[in-house]
Amino acid sequence: MATQPTIAISHLGCEKNRIDTEHILGLLVQAGYQVDSNEELADYVIVNTCSFIEAAREESVRTLVELADAKKKIVITGCMAQHFQEQLLDELPEAVAVVGTGDYHKIVDVIKRVEQGERVKEVSAEPTYIADETVPRYRTTSEGVAYLRVAEGCDYRCAFCIIPHLRGNQRSRTIESIVTEAQQLAEQGVQEIILISQITTNYGLDLYGEPKLAELLRALGKVDIPWIRMHYAYPTGLTPKVIAAMQDTPNVLPYLDLPLQHSHPDVLRAMNRPWQGRVNDQIIETLKTAIPDAVLRTTFIVGFPGETEEHFEHLREFVQRHEFDHVGVFTFSPEEGTPAYKLPNQLPQGIMDARRDALMEIQQPISLKQNQKSIAQAVDVLIEQQNPQTGELIGRSSRFAPEVDGLIYIEGDARLGSMVKVQITDADVYDLYGYVLE
């Protein structure tokens, strides 16, 4: 009997992509394939690509070219496979298959077909698939953390965003399915679940006819997981009902990732944002009043076509006024296939870079001030890493989401994946420092 080929996976992009990678791994292992992290020894390398903005595409292309130069047989999955399927097959003879964002669950069948000599293109034009708790999954995060996808796809059509084109319209999982997966993760010792989708506040709209985030949060409150964190909450979806569910559910963290993108109504209208700027100030103030210990994170795009000095000044004042805990700033990236790609008054990269730097300069002292509030406090910290040289522990408090926010550097002893009390002694712009309380 022929031996099964060995497969390596190279993961690029966001945590939504990461969950796809974890399901691909789970399905391959279940089917008896050897999955190896060493690309050099593998018969096939699956590259789960990102195509969100130009920089992400460049990283994906670099990875593919390096593997092609090493004469590897490449299976390309993810957003770039969805976006550029024909070009990838034309330009990379080493690509033995391209698999779209709604087709990764067919990976075992794809490998079998490739093994029989077929060059496979498995890309649904309109992705409709979403994995549930029955699909095997091999987690790639640190042992205490797991991402949990509540929905996939997006019904909004923001002018700059290619995601609906790549991921399809929103499709939500049932509350029962999500709770069952959360219970499975709790049994594996997970301490923190991060709820993700393109727009978490719209969760359930397609399935139940109205958003059901409040009901989902209350149901997850019954699962034995210390931290439930929400990502990608559109401000308009943070209704009194959702805020009440956050207040009433102790394990739902008062952490909100609000992808605001801009503050000026004209720019938001040009971006085709769903609420177009009328309510940003009001909603943020409402949130801060209702949840006084709320940790607010947001992202902004500077340099959207037509953004004037006056528009940018509005954004600067907005950032100064609201004192967000964490801010990410991106320069506009023109994506072919989106309305913003053809808009007039595109800004030079130099101006966009200068605006990004100016905004970060305003935010840094604010981030420092917010971090310094933790000094002299004893906080719960999830221990995730240990420096092998120094023995120093590295973890996060509930104020910090993985990958995007800061870390806490800790003296003392604790088990990886455990949650311990840490006395905070110092802070800088991004990180905190402290020691384990016995």
Report DSSP letters for 270-310, one per residue.
HTT-SSTTSSHHHHHHHHHHHSTT-EEEEEEEE--TT--HH
d(CA 109, CA 235): 41
Contacts of 280 (CB under 8 A, 6+ apart): 235, 260, 263, 318
Report whether 14 belongs to an annotated binding site: yes
d(CA 364, CA 262): 18
Report whether 154 belongs to an annotated binding site: yes
Burial state string for 195-222 with b = 16 or more CB within 10 A and e = fewer than 16: bbbbbbbbbbbeeeeebbbbbbbbbbbe
d(CA 229, CA 194): 5
Q: State how far Cα 437 lies from the chain centre.
A: 32
- At 204 the three-state DSSP class reads coil
Report whether 325 belongs to an annotated binding site: no
- CB neighbour class for 226 (10 Å; exposed up to 12, middle 13-18, buried from 19): middle
- Contact in structure between 343 and 305 (CB atoms under 8 Å): yes
pLDDT of residue 205: 96
Report whether 49 belongs to an annotated binding site: no
pLDDT of residue 1: 45
Report whether 124 belongs to an annotated binding site: no
User: Which uninterrupted H or E stretch holds 26?
Assistant: helix 15-30
pLDDT of residue 2: 57
* Full set of structural domains in the chain with CATH: 6-122 (3.40.50.12160), 145-373 (3.80.30.20), 377-436 (2.40.50.140)
d(CA 4, CA 11): 22
| Residue at token pair 């699956």 | 46
* Backbone Cα Rg of the chain: 22
| Two tokens, residue 213 | 């985030």
- CB neighbour class for 323 (10 Å; exposed up to 12, middle 13-18, buried from 19): middle
- Tens-binned pLDDT, residue by residue, of the chain (438 aa): 457 889 999 888 888 889 999 999 999 999 999 898 788 888 999 999 887 667 777 788 888 888 877 788 999 998 888 888 888 888 888 899 999 999 999 999 999 999 999 999 999 998 999 999 999 999 988 889 999 999 999 988 888 888 888 899 999 999 999 999 999 999 999 999 999 999 999 999 999 999 999 999 999 999 999 999 999 998 888 999 999 999 999 999 999 999 899 999 999 999 998 765 556 778 888 888 999 999 999 999 999 999 999 999 999 999 999 999 999 999 999 888 889 999 999 999 999 999 999 999 999 999 999 999 999 999 999 999 998 889 899 999 999 999 899 999 999 999 999 999 999 999 999 999 999 997
pLDDT of residue 84: 87
- At 250 the three-state DSSP class reads coil
Question: How many residues comprise the chain?
Answer: 438
Q: What is the pTM of this model?
A: 0.92
pLDDT of residue 79: 87
Report whether 384 belongs to an annotated binding site: no
pLDDT of residue 366: 97
- At 74 the three-state DSSP class reads strand
Taking the C-alpha atoms of 338, 344, 345 and 350 in order, what is their torsion angle to the nearest 10 degrees?
A: 40
Contacts of 252 (CB under 8 A, 6+ apart): 217, 220, 221, 228, 230, 245, 246
Q: At what angle do helices 213-220 and 240-248 cross, to 10 degrees?
A: 10
